[in-house]
Amino acid sequence: MISIEFTRARAQATRDTQASLGLAPTTWVWSQKTVIQWDGEIATLDQCLADESARRTQWRNAAESWQASLDGIRALTRQVVSIGRVHFRNDAVKLLLWESVSTDAESRAGIYEQGLAARDVWQETDPAWNVSTEISVGTLSSALTDALAKQAAHSAKFTAWRRASATLTNKAQQVDVDCIAWYAEATRRFLEATPDGDFIRSSVPRTTRTDAPVGQAVLSNLVVNAGTIHFDVTAPGATRYTYLQQSPGSPAFVVVLADSPEAGLTLTAQPNGLHRFKVIGSNSGGSGAESAVAELSVSIAAAA
């Protein structure tokens, strides 16, 4: 698997070395690519990197939103089925319908199907019956419709990220091939144990190690001071971290900082209430498991 970070570093080193060799007294210019063209390639690679990162953030946010919708359906389904079985206990036929609805699904598809089954039984037994003033069969129907919309948004964001990821990988491979070709020609022209030859060999990296798999992220040193929140994170093998936060009243986690080399997060002016965080570590080889959710409470007394 190609290392994007290594390719970016090698391209920059190749460009800088070529620029140096183009000066007197060497004045060697590679016939296949000028320094300006290297600048353009590196700029394009950087743009592809930024686009892939942005698309990945959008996909993760969509995934969190979809999951939050499904979590709501699961909780609502369990509540409705539990109360429905009690409410219709004196009607054997309707009770049998309610008892046929399971509420133990863990998969996304299973949670949705069980919510749909509960909605259908509700409509069959008594669509006018309400669990409470806030919960009717329409409430469950709306939640199911919302989940479908969130699923469609997730699918679109995932496709957009996959396209951006493929574009980045393709561009990195093209740049990598040019770097290899440049190095082969430069080292043929400038032999080892010569000033220029040694300069090339010491300036341009030739090999890259395969990054080890990333371990699960672990949060530590959690601190709350008035409206400021801070914590540190570690993950074996990680070189970058993506931070997600669920603010008070928010139904889903949202990425607040993506692909950061900083192994810690500080947020200021946070509102009162319970804040939940999780982190995903990554390196050029991929991402590790997300951390356990950490919860921090902000409590700031109102000014008199």
What is the mean pLDDT of the segment spanning 178-185?
Answer: 96
18 pLDDT more than 60? yes
| Dist. CA 92–CA 125, nearest whole Å | 11
* Position 206 confidence tier, pLDDT thresholds 50, 70, 90: confident
For position 284, what pLDDT does the model report?
Answer: 77
For position 208, what pLDDT does the model report?
Answer: 59
What is the mean pLDDT of the segment spanning 16-28?
Answer: 95
For position 207, what pLDDT does the model report?
Answer: 75
What are the pLDDT digits (tens) for 59-73?
Answer: 999 999 999 999 999
Contact (CB, 8 A) for 288 and 261: no
* Position 210 confidence tier, pLDDT thresholds 50, 70, 90: low
Contact (CB, 8 A) for 175 and 11: yes
What are the pLDDT digits (tens) for 261-301?
Answer: 999 999 999 999 999 999 999 987 789 999 999 999 999 77
Find the Cα–Cα–Cα–Cα dihedral 233, 10, 164, 155, rounded to 10°: -30
* Position 5 confidence tier, pLDDT thresholds 50, 70, 90: confident
- Higher model confidence: residue 209 or residue 40? 40
In this structure, the number of other CB atoms found within 10 A of the CB of residue 128 comes to 6
- Tokens standing for 157? 């964001």
For position 271, what pLDDT does the model report?
Answer: 92
303 pLDDT more than 90? no
Q: What CATH code would you report for 211-298?
A: 2.60.40.10
Residue 204: exposure state from Cβ atoms within 10 A (0-12, 13-18, ≥19):
buried
Mean pLDDT of the chain: 93
17-26, 59-68, 134-143, 278-287: lowest mean pLDDT where? 278-287
What is the mean pLDDT of the segment spanning 218-246?
Answer: 94
304 pLDDT more than 60? no
- Tokens standing for 286? 């991929």
Q: Where are the domains of the chain?
A: 1-209, 211-298
46 pLDDT more than 80? yes
What is the mean pLDDT of the segment spanning 15-19?
Answer: 97
